[in-house]
């Protein structure tokens, strides 16, 4: 494909030369359909912030006639995946694909993905996967129609705005305990290690400074030492330390409603108008991962834990405006009890997968046809 203004060069990201230009590119690239509200990412001066907590990572840039016109990022790790005999696979995750609007539909996006796949192959990766909103037509067509990815899973992204003026209720019938990192790691290995995409290096996630902790909840009167009759667990990751989000392309009516609801809350707090936080200025968020539990009270226990996380967010940084939880698409029990605002949530995020090894081509078909396990592990490092 000819590019008019010269040869397309795809090379590794160089912080010194590319940092400002990559941030500039990010700020002009909307993700998703142009007629819908979308989120801009502000990487706070460090474009590789979204991948640098992963064990192995890479960022490629596309240059045309001296202009930086595209970017892509990738990470590699070992996860649980149906791949007999060991059920462990090396997976490459693709994220942050952006092509400058003026240079789209010239094959640059495809070239970036192909180059990243070459790096994955050199690193002996079994499968590569990516996540996209299901109505991001450009992304879906590029990966599925053009590059041979197949639809794999559809997790739900649940978004709950943080109310900095009001605490959420926590049932006095339940006990909430923060686990030590070693306790959390053994809990994960005991109950979640067979979950799809469970990262083998879970210890690194739990020890990362962005991990705020792992909490469990169980009925009062029971002890954690002896597995309680019902229990729930979750961990929290402070994504806002790494990067901020900002809403763009919002209908003016929504903007006015947000502003007026905030003013009313501020000056007439007795009005019960639900306050929508200001998403037009950069904001941070907490990411809840590792949601799991057992027993008849699981739903109430998980709700209590989520309310606890809400209160932690509302009493801490003012810029933590939402709490995001991503769970397996068929984990209806958790979905029912995790507090979230439907209008801000996405019931079907789309994960697509592709095998990079010939012998695994058939197993990818099997992976996509095997019903998913209830829980799906969403790595907070890949948010
Ligand atoms: C998605 C994106 C990276 C595509 O980059 P690009 O350089 O235009 O992609 P390509 O030219 O390689 O397109 C390859 C194929 O993808 C499909 N495609 C790309 N853009 C499309 C669009 N807007 N509508 C429909 N199909 C599209 C087409 O099948 C295209 O092949 P064709 O041009 O031969 O028909 C670019 O639109 C972008 O930066 N979007 C905003 C950020 C984003 O959504 N990133 C994806 C997050 S996962």
**Residue 224 token pair:** 């954690």
Residue nearest to atom 25 of ligand 1 (CA): 138
Whether the per-residue pLDDT at 251 is higher than 90: the answer is no
Query: Mind listing the pLDDT tens digit for each residue in 192-250?
Result: 999 999 999 999 999 999 999 999 999 999 999 889 999 999 999 999 888 888 776 55
Q: Determine the Cα–Cα distance for residues 144 and 240; give it in Å rounded to an integer.
A: 31
CB within 8 Å of 215: residues ≥ 6 apart = 176, 177, 178, 179, 233, 234, 235, 236, 305, 308, 309
Nearest atom within ligand 1 for CA of residue 100: 39
pTM recorded for the entire structure:
0.89
Q: Do domains 8-153+348-382 and 159-248+270-344 have the same CATH topology?
A: yes
Query: Mind listing the pLDDT tens digit for each residue in 53-112?
Result: 999 999 999 999 999 999 999 999 999 987 777 889 999 999 999 999 999 999 999 999
In the DSSP assignment, the letter for residue 130 is E
* CATH number for the domain whose boundaries are 8-153+348-382: 3.40.630.30
Mutate to test the pocket of ligand 1, among 97, 110, 138, 349 (most ligand atoms within 8 A of CB): 138
Q: Determine the Cα–Cα distance for residues 217 and 222; give it in Å rounded to an integer.
A: 11
Q: Determine the Cα–Cα distance for residues 82 and 126; give it in Å rounded to an integer.
A: 12
Of the options 3.40.710.10, 3.40.630.30, 3.40.50.720, 3.30.70.20, the CATH number for the domain spanning 159-248+270-344? 3.40.630.30
Nearest atom within ligand 1 for CA of residue 106: 11
| Domain boundary assignment for the chain | 8-153+348-382, 159-248+270-344
What are the DSSP calls for 180-199, one per residue?
PHHHHHHHHHHHTTTSBT-B
């Amino acid at each position: 494909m000819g590019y008019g203004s010269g040869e397309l060069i795809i090379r590794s990201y160089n912080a010194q030369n590319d940092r400002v230009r990559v941030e500039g590119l990010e700020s002009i690239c909307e993700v998703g359909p142009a007629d819908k509200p979308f989120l801009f990412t502000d990487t706070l001066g460090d474009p590789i912030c979204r991948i640098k907590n992963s064990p192995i990572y890479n960022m490629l840039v596309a240059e045309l006639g001296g202009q930086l016109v595209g970017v892509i990022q990738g990470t590699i790790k070992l996860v649980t995946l149906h791949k007999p005999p060991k059920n462990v696979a090396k997976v490459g995750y693709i994220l942050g694909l952006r092509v400058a609007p003026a240079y789209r539909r010239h094959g640059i996006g495809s070239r970036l993905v192909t180059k990243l796949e070459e790096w994955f192959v050199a690193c002996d990766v079994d499968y590569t996967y990516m996540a996209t909103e299901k109505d991001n037509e450009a992304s879906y067509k590029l990966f599925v129609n053009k590059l041979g990815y197949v639809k794999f899973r559809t997790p739900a992204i649940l978004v709950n705005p943080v109310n900095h003026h009001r605490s959420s209720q926590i049932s006095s019938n339940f006990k909430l305990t923060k686990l030590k990192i070693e306790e959390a790691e053994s809990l994960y290995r005991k109950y979640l290690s067979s979950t799809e995409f469970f990262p083998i290096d879970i210890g690194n996630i739990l020890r990362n400074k962005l991990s705020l902790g792992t909490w469990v909840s169980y009925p009062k009167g029971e002890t954690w030492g002896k597995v309680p009759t019902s229990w729930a667990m979750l961990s929290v990751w402070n994504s806002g330390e790494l990067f901020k989000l900002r809403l763009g392309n919002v209908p003016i009516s929504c903007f006015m409603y947000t502003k007026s609801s905030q003013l009313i809350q501020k000056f007439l707090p007795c009005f019960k108008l639900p306050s929508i936080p200001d998403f037009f200025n950069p904001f941070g968020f907490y990411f809840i991962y590792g949601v799991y539990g057992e027993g008849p009270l699981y739903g109430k226990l998980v709700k209590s834990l989520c309310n606890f996380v809400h209160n932690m967010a509302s009493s801490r940084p003012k810029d933590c405006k939402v709490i995001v939880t991503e769970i397996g698409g068929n984990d209806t029990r958790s979905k029912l009890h995790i507090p979230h605002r439907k209008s801000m949530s996405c019931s079907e995020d789309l994960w697509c997968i592709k095998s990079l090894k010939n012998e695994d081509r058939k197993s990818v078909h099997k992976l996509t046809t095997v019903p998913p396990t209830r829980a799906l592990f969403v790595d907070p490092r890949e948010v």
